[in-house]
Structure 1
Amino acid sequence: MSEEQTRLKQLAADAAVDEVRSGMVVGLGYGSTALLFVRSLAKKVAAGELQGITGVACALAMETEARSLGLNVSSLDQHPVMDLTVDGADEVDPALNLIKGGGGALLREKVVAQASRREIIIVDESKLSEHLGDKWALPVEVVPFALRPVSEYVTSLGAEVKLRLLEDGKPLVTDQGNWIIDCNFGPMADPGTVARSLEGRAGLVEHGLFLGLASEVIVAASDGVRRIPRP
Structure 2
Amino acid sequence: MVASTASLAPPCRSSLSFTSSSGRARAPPPRAVRCSAPSDIDAPPLLRAAKYTVDRYIKSGMVVGLGSGNASCMAIKYLGQQLRAGTLEDIVGVPTSVTSASEAAKSGIPLDDYQGCSQIDFAFDDADIIEEDTLIAVIGRRKLEGGESIIQEKFVLNAAKRIVFIITENKYKGALDGSVPVLVQSVWRRPSIGHADPFGGDFPVVTKDGHNVLDVIFTSPIANLVAPLWLYQKVEFPLSIVR
TM-score, length-normalised on structure 1? 0.71
CA drift at 1:191: 2.3
CA drift at 1:174: 2.0
Partner of 2:21: none
Structure 2 residue corresponding to 1:140, chosen from 182, 186, 210: 182
CA distance change for structure 1 residues 175 and 47 in 2, over 3 Å: closer, same or farther? farther
Partner of 1:220: none
After superposition, the C-alpha distances for 1:39-65 in whole angstroms (9 at most, x for unaligned) are 111111111111000000111221122
Please give the secondary structure, in 2, of the residue aligned with 1:72: coil
Q: Which runs of 4+ in 1 moved over 4 A?
A: none
Partner of 2:216: 183
Task: Judge conservation of contact 1:146–1:203 (CA < 8 Å) in 2.
Answer: no
CA drift at 1:92: 0.5
Please give the secondary structure, in 2, of the residue aligned with 1:175: coil
Runs of at least 5 residues in structure 2 that lack an aligned partner in the other structure: 1-8, 10-42, 193-200
Partner of 1:75: 113
CA drift at 1:196: 4.1
Partner of 2:22: none
- Distance in 2 between residues matched to 1:56 and 1:122, nearest whole Å: 17
TM-score, length-normalised on structure 2? 0.68
Q: Please give the root-mean-square deviation of Cα atoms over the aligned residues, in Å.
A: 2.5
Please give the residue correspondences for 1:1-231 in structure 2 after superposition, counting only pairs within 5 Å.
7-18=44-55, 19-94=57-132, 95-103=134-142, 104=147, 105-133=149-177, 136-143=178-185, 145-148=186-189, 171-186=204-219, 187-199=221-233, 200-201=236-237, 202-206=239-243
After superposition, the C-alpha distances for 1:101-125 in whole angstroms (9 at most, x for unaligned) are 1244432222111111101111001
Letter in 2 for 1:75: D
CA drift at 1:147: 4.7
CA drift at 1:20: 0.4
- Distance in 1 between residues matched to 2:52 and 2:227, nearest whole Å: 33
The percentage of aligned residue pairs carrying the same residue is: 29
- Distance in 1 between residues matched to 2:225 and 2:152, nearest whole Å: 20
Letter in 1 for 2:156: V
- Distance in 2 between residues matched to 1:78 and 1:22, nearest whole Å: 19
Task: Judge conservation of contact 1:42–1:69 (CA < 8 Å) in 2.
Answer: yes
After superposition, the C-alpha distances for 1:157-183 in whole angstroms (9 at most, x for unaligned) are xxxxxx8x7xxxx64332323222121
- Distance in 2 between residues matched to 1:146 and 1:63, nearest whole Å: 30
Specify which structure has the bigger relative contact order, considering alpha-carbon pairs within 8 angstroms and separated by 6 or more residues: 1
- Distance in 1 between residues matched to 2:166 and 2:226, nearest whole Å: 22
Partner of 1:209: none
Q: Which has the larger radius of gyration?
A: 2
